[in-house]
Structures are given as structure tokens and as C-alpha cells.
Amino acid sequence: MYKVFVNDKPLFLTNEISKETDFQLFLLESIDIEQLIVKIFQNKIQKAYLYHPDEKEIMKTLKAKIPVNKAGGGFVYNKNGEVLFIFRNGKWDLPKGGIEKGEEIEATAMREVEEETGVNELTITKKLQKTYHIFRRNGKYKLKITHWFEMQSTFEGIPQGQLEEGIEKVAWLKPSEIPEALKNSYENIKLLFEEEHLLK
């Protein structure tokens, strides 16, 4: 099953049919995806499941219905075990951004961390999950697939937020400070912290 967030509301892509309770079920093959997204943005639908019988084909079917943006992001630890956060659009987030032509996704993730925060001396320690969300740009809906990487940094300086990207501040947060920051973050970001076992 995949979880795609639309305006921070979950859209589940599944190959199992369960009894409807607090959500609506649609057939992925025949759904007008844009109409569904609009209804979610308008708060007419809080939670929806898209059903497709073949799990291997689910994401391919969705990608055929909506343009895809590929991005890379970093879940960066310093030597004190603190995690690198950015604050943008009134929410705490992790550094990430779109892939450039001919670029490997790992290079994208490292470049974006450095551009958005000024933090360098990065090494990738492992690949994390991908996250999915739908956003609107120039009147069109797009699916953003972000490839996340756990990284370590030996950077000693003061991080600087990239102003042209609207980043108001950059902070290293201690594990004890993270749950509070995540109260004002995105559902996708919370998934990563669950994976890292930093969120109970």
C-alpha cells in the first residue's frame, strides 16, 4: 500500500478491498484523479482509498494519470545526534528539492541540503523510504515523489537558510525537541521520523 498526501490528507493506494467506514473507495483505473484531488483540497473528502488489483501496477497507473516531479531530500544528523530542520511557510520541514537533468538522485539530495541550509561535509549513510504528495503549481496538480536519504555531517559552522527558497530558519534539533517541531510539520515528514524510530 502507498500513502499519498493531498493537502496533508491521506490518499491510500491499495490492492485490498476493505469495508468502508470513515473513507471513500474509488477504482484507480476509472477515477478522474483531478476531480478527486479538488474534492480533497476543498475538504469535501477527508480520506480516500484508490483500489487497483495489481500491487505492482498501482504506482504506474497513478503516474499515468498525473505528471510526476522527482525530488531528493536529506535526513541529516550531526555528530551530537541532532537532526537538521528548516522552517518554511510556517512549518518545520526537512531540506529537499527537485532533481536536475542528468543528476543522480543521491547527488540531488546532497546538493539540496547544502543549498537550502549551507550545511556541507555530508555522507549518505542509508536510503530511506520515498514519500508522495500532490501539490498544485500554475493551476496543474502534480505528484511529487521524494527520495529520502539518511546522512551524517561533520559541518561545524552556522547553518544559513536559503532566502530565495523562503527558508526563514535552519536549526539542529535534539531528539527531545523533535516531537514538538513535528506538531507543526507535514504528515510525510512524520513518516520518516517513525522510520528512524524518533517518533513513537
Residue 105's pLDDT band, with cuts at 50, 70 and 90, is very high
Domains of the chain, by residue range, sit at 2-65, 68-195
For residue 199, the model assigns a pLDDT of 63
Residue 2's pLDDT band, with cuts at 50, 70 and 90, is very high
The radius of gyration of the chain from alpha carbons, rounded to an integer in Å, stands at 18
pLDDT in tens, 25-34: 899 999 999 9
Contact 120, 157 (CB under 8 A): no
Buried b (16+ CB within 10 A) or exposed e, 54-71: eeeebbebbeebeeeeeb
For residue 112, the model assigns a pLDDT of 98
How many Å apart are CA 163 and CA 95, to the nearest integer? 13
The DSSP element (H or E) to which 144 belongs, if any, is strand 140-153
CATH superfamily for 68-195 is: Nucleoside Triphosphate Pyrophosphohydrolase (3.90.79.10)
Overall pTM surpassing 0.75 (yes/no): yes
Lowest mean pLDDT among 6-10, 23-27, 99-103: 23-27
For residue 200, the model assigns a pLDDT of 54
